[in-house]
Amino acid sequence: MPMFKKETADATREKGRHGPAKISKKASIPAGLWTKCLSCQHVVYNKALRENLSVCPKCGYHFIIGARERVGQFLDKDSFKEHDARLIPGDPLTFTGVKSYVDKLKEDQIKTRLNEACITGEGLLQGRKIALAVTDSHFIMGSMGSVVGEKITRLIEFAIEKELPLVIISGSGGGARMYEGALSLMQMAKTSIALQRFQRLKRPYISVLTNPTMGGVMASFAALGDIVLAEPKALIGFAGPRVIEQTIRQKLPNDFQTSEFLQDRGMVDLVVHRKDLPKVISTLLEYLG
């Protein structure tokens, strides 16, 4: 009997020597496969999220997406022809700070694979030719510098020349770009004057506001659409909620500066789910002729 117990103990010790090494080998999950929803904290498989147009399948939260992804979702497949792709910003103020303007531009150009915070061009929307601009908040927060203003102005002039309907999808949390000073602020007037010329044609201009659309962009071309649409729960305004609260020393409503809040007050005509934008805008353009 003792002999049996000793053998068992020895076997247990031997197993203990080799067992943990095998148990400790955990199957690793590759990074970048899952995304946590910023609204409901639901974890979504990235492939499923992309197939759902980067909208949370549980709560409907609309993730911020890049300009090229937006164009691919919005226009008919392979119909987009980009304009002014080689326009790149300069550094008129030789701006320096924690990071120079030149370094910031290079960093975001590599990160986004864009030359600037805006893509412009022409394409087909459910078979109808339109002029389209999309701003990208991943590039210096989608702020409007000289090149962004120039590209949008050139697109408006192209739409005037070709008598095309105009759609601008805005996603800009940066407003006017501080790195370019007054030259950036000038773009607000420049784009607004170009739109005034466009509206004499009686051709439709539809503005789409996405999360976020703030500052000088919202105070210029983004707010001037004949029809203004917005994605659900997008942050839209001029100054941010915290700045306003600190200024007026009052607590703001929870839904302040959201698409739904502004629709209730007449600043947004319609809140539209991302998957419905192409159909809704195509229908509006048909009605507007």
Which CATH architecture describes the domain 65-288? Alpha-Beta Complex (3.90)
Predicted confidence (pLDDT) at residue 277 exceeds the cutoff of 80? yes
The whole-angstrom separation of Cα 48 and Cα 258 is 26
| Tokens encoding 143 | 């702020």
Residue 74's Cβ-count burial label (10 Å; 0-12, 13-18, 19+) is buried
The whole-angstrom separation of Cα 187 and Cα 236 is 19
Q: What is the residue type of 83?
A: H
Q: How many CB atoms lie within 10 A of CB 110?
A: 9
Task: Looking at the chain, list the stretches that DSSP marks H as alpha helix, in order from N- to C-terminal side.
Answer: 2-23, 46-51, 67-74, 101-112, 146-162, 182-199, 215-218, 241-248, 259-264, 277-288
Percentage of the chain beyond pLDDT 90 is 82
Phi and psi torsions of 124, nearest 5°: -105, 130
DSSP 82-132: EESTT-----TT---SSS-HHHHHHHHHHHHS-SSSEEEEEEEETTEEEEE
Contact in structure between 202 and 243 (CB atoms under 8 Å): no
DSSP state of 223: G
User: What pLDDT is attached to residue 154?
Assistant: 98
Q: Are strands 166-172 and 205-213 parallel, antiparallel or unpaired?
A: parallel
User: What pLDDT is attached to residue 27?
Assistant: 56
Q: Which residues contact 237 (CB under 8 A, 6 or more apart)?
A: 214, 218, 257
Read off the pLDDT of residues 122-141 as tens digits, 9 standing for 90 and up: 999 999 999 999 999 999 99
Domain ranges of the chain: 29-63, 65-288
Predicted confidence (pLDDT) at residue 197 exceeds the cutoff of 90? yes
User: What pLDDT is attached to residue 3?
Assistant: 46
Contact in structure between 191 and 107 (CB atoms under 8 Å): no
Read off the pLDDT of residues 84-115 as tens digits, 9 standing for 90 and up: 999 999 999 999 888 999 999 999 999 999 99
Total-model pTM = 0.87
Percentage of the chain beyond pLDDT 70 is 89
- Degrees, nearest 5: CA angle 44-64-151: 150
